[in-house]
Amino acid sequence: MSETEQTLVTLEPASPADACVIWLHGLGASGHDFEPIVPYLELPADSAVRFLFPHAPMQPVTVNGGMVMPAWYDILEMDIGRKIDVSGMVDSSRRIIELIESQVVAGIPAERILLIGFSQGGAVAYHTALSYSGRVAGVAGLSTYLGTLDLLEPATEKADLPIWIAHGVGDPVVPLALGKQALADLQSLGYAPTWQEYMMAHEVCLEEIQALGKWIVACLQA
């Protein structure tokens, strides 16, 4: 078992898994953060989806006074531009690619693997799905932003990659404008994301999670 596989929460389906969701938590949280939400996705009873919830490494975070906490990368400034440690972002993305490839080795094709990320985890999910040499089933960004536009290539053969974006209209942590900027940036690369707004702050809500469950099912039936 790799180091990556040791640092995550795994939920196995009742029958042998034929698909996988890799779900990345936000700053200061852990892989357990979204584990209880899985039943609220309301996936069909016969779904054979494995859920993997990796834990981010512990590291100092500049905008939090250098406090050590679970973080996928350092955040240097909290202004609307979101100055981040890009090398840290890329390192975390490589770790998630390792996790994808471990699932491929275990018998689940990349085309049956979905990436979901909340806040900081969503930025990593975006970068991973869009820079990965293979093709995943789709990527969902929850209350997040796109932090690595300059590192991404135009969509070309991945232009039809399913991308689902959800954001709270009253989000004080990742402002709605950042989510909309991600939407515009993804469109500029040639993607066609689906955009959803919810009456919430920096969080998730039941309506959003149920819609996310329907998106998961659609991606895996495509």
Helix or strand holding residue 187 (H, E): helix 176-188
Query: Distances from the Cα of 132 to the Cαs of 15, 64, 100, 197, in angstroms?
Result: 28, 30, 10, 28
Q: Catalytic site residue 87?
A: no
Mean pLDDT of 80-105: 90
Q: Catalytic site residue 119?
A: yes
Write the CB contacts of 146 (distance below 8 Å, at least 6 apart in sequence): 123, 126, 181, 182, 185, 186
pLDDT in tens, 115-136: 999 999 999 999 999 999 999 9
pLDDT in tens, 39-78: 999 999 999 999 999 999 999 999 889 999 999 999 887 7
Q: Which of 47, 92, 93, 119 is catalytic?
A: 119
Whether the predicted pLDDT of 3 surpasses 50: no
Query: What domains appear along the chain, each with residue ranges and CATH number?
Result: 3-221 (3.40.50.1820)
Q: Catalytic site residue 202?
A: yes
Whether the predicted pLDDT of 145 surpasses 90: yes
Q: What is the pLDDT of residue 1?
A: 38
pLDDT in tens, 79-90: 656 688 889 999
Q: Report the percent of the chain where pLDDT is more than 70.
A: 95
Mean pLDDT of 26-38: 96
Whether the predicted pLDDT of 5 surpasses 60: no
* pTM of the shown model: 0.95
Average pLDDT, the chain: 93
